Structure 1
Amino acid sequence: MTLTQPTTLTPIEARVLGTLMEKARTVPDSYPLSLNSLLLGCNQKSSRDPVMDLSEADVASALENLMALSLMRTNTSGRVARYEHNFQRGIGVPEQSAVLLGLLMLRGPQTAAELRLNTERWYKFADISSVEGFLEELQDRSLDKGGPLVIKLARAPGAREQRWAHLLCGPVDEAQLAQSGSARGTDGAPGALARIEQLEAEVAQLRATVQLLCTELGVSATAP
């Protein structure tokens, strides 16, 4: 079954689905996932934006809804039920597009360059242009196939590149995302500008301290 109508997920459903997609590629030996493993993956602190603190009930409810949308399946062959995604077939996109959407669900809006870097363990894109090509296809997706699945955001103040966001949870608030993007800094790292300013202030303070010590010792601050 391939969905031809717009699919609107909750943030929790997107996190559960993205986690299943990630673990299928990064830890195939332990995939499909048990409910406990899936919960840990959803709540992990790294490679997640935003970080969540979901309960087992939250994940179980999301799994029910995703199963109704034919976006995941249950494997009950063992003693413990295990879960696997059916995203690519359920949404009706090629592998490369599924990878990009999975990363956007897990890590939030990213530039094409960030996506190419972050997808290394999922799929190796030849270059940034190929990433942009699949993103543009997702943006131009026809209504008979369910409509666009990503949007290219306006350039955030101080940013060098525009970021992309997924539309699987509905329309995005570009104003809010642009504001959060400005805090990421020009290199795309969260809080980069604030961190740079802090380091510059610390360096200036250290220089002043060194100059004071050199003055008291009667030596030149530029001496080798």
Structure 2
Amino acid sequence: MTDAPAWPVLTAAEARVLGCLIEKQATTPDVYPLTVNAAQSAANQKTARDPVMALSTGDTGHALRQLEGHRLVRQSFSSRAERYEHLVPGALDIPSPQVALLGLLLLRGAQTVHELLARSERLHAFADADDVRHHLERLEGRALVVRIPRGPGQREDRYAHLLSGPVDVAAIAARTASTTAGAGTDSALEARVEALEAELAALRGTVEALAARLA
């Protein structure tokens, strides 16, 4: 087990919602900050999420209020709608590349350097795998991330966030070893689905904004 981090310990719902705010700020800036409904939709996406969740509107609203209490999120008002934005760079004192990596870890669990590099394209333009590794090491030094040594049949170490408290490194290593054996992910199809979901989220936000103006 890793030592407990010196940061607010987030529930699974809080971690998911915070990750969504980080992601949507970069991918759908036109509808950011997010409404509670938009944050719920983002949290419950079937792609680019591990594990898949089914948060209710109440769960999402509660998570946002708790994050606000942790000073990781701020509420704002626009077009009569309650909206929320994250405050991660200032609250944790980390630069945008590390915010992007932390967001991906909050959304998808433990990942390798190359997985993070491939999945971060829409959040931050890292130069290469070494650039990603450099920022992960900085996060590790701040007790925000932990490195999980590669297990049998694995080529790379993995990294997990510590915002939800200590993680069982041995358990994660064993779980990822079993799931990576024979798991053939079509990354091109996954990327296309993610792009479509981002477009849908943007359209939903536009409709919400128009409805608020007409109300």
Same fold (TM over 0.5): yes
> Would you say 1:45 and 2:46 are equivalent positions?
yes
Of the two, which has the highest radius of gyration? Answer: 1
Deviation at 1:175, TM superposition (A): 2.2
Question: What's the counterpart of residue 182 of structure 1?
Answer: 177
Deviation at 1:184, TM superposition (A): 3.2
Deviation at 1:6, TM superposition (A): 2.3
Gaps spanning 5+ residues in structure 1: where? 142-147, 194-224
For 1:99 and 1:75, the matched residues in 2 are separated by 22
Deviation at 1:157, TM superposition (A): 1.6
For 2:147 and 2:112, the matched residues in 1 are separated by 9
- 2:101 maps to a residue whose letter is L
| SS of match in other structure, 1:81 | strand
> Would you say 1:159 and 2:154 are equivalent positions?
yes
Tell me how large the CA RMSD over aligned residues is.
1.9
Structure ranking higher in strand proportion = 2
Deviations 1:85-118 (CA, angstroms, capped at 9, x unpaired): 1111111111111110000000110011110110
Give the total of aligned pairs: 182
- Flag as ranges the 4+ runs of structure 1 deviating above 3 A: none
Deviations 1:12-47 (CA, angstroms, capped at 9, x unpaired): 100000001101100111111111111000001000
For 1:175 and 1:27, the matched residues in 2 are separated by 36
CA contact 1:105–1:166 (8 Å) conserved in 2: yes
> Would you say 1:172 and 2:167 are equivalent positions?
yes
> Would you say 1:129 and 2:120 are equivalent positions?
no
| SS of match in other structure, 1:156 | coil
1:192 to 180, 183, 186: 183
For 1:133 and 1:184, the matched residues in 2 are separated by 27
Deviation at 1:162, TM superposition (A): 0.7
Question: What's the counterpart of residue 139 of structure 1?
Answer: 140
For 2:90 and 2:179, the matched residues in 1 are separated by 34
- Using the size of structure 1 for normalisation, the TM-score is 0.77
Question: What's the counterpart of residue 69 of structure 1?
Answer: 70
Deviation at 1:5, TM superposition (A): 4.2
CA contact 1:72–1:85 (8 Å) conserved in 2: yes
Deviations 1:60-108 (CA, angstroms, capped at 9, x unpaired): 1111111111111111232111111111111111111111000000011
Question: What's the counterpart of residue 106 of structure 1?
Answer: 107
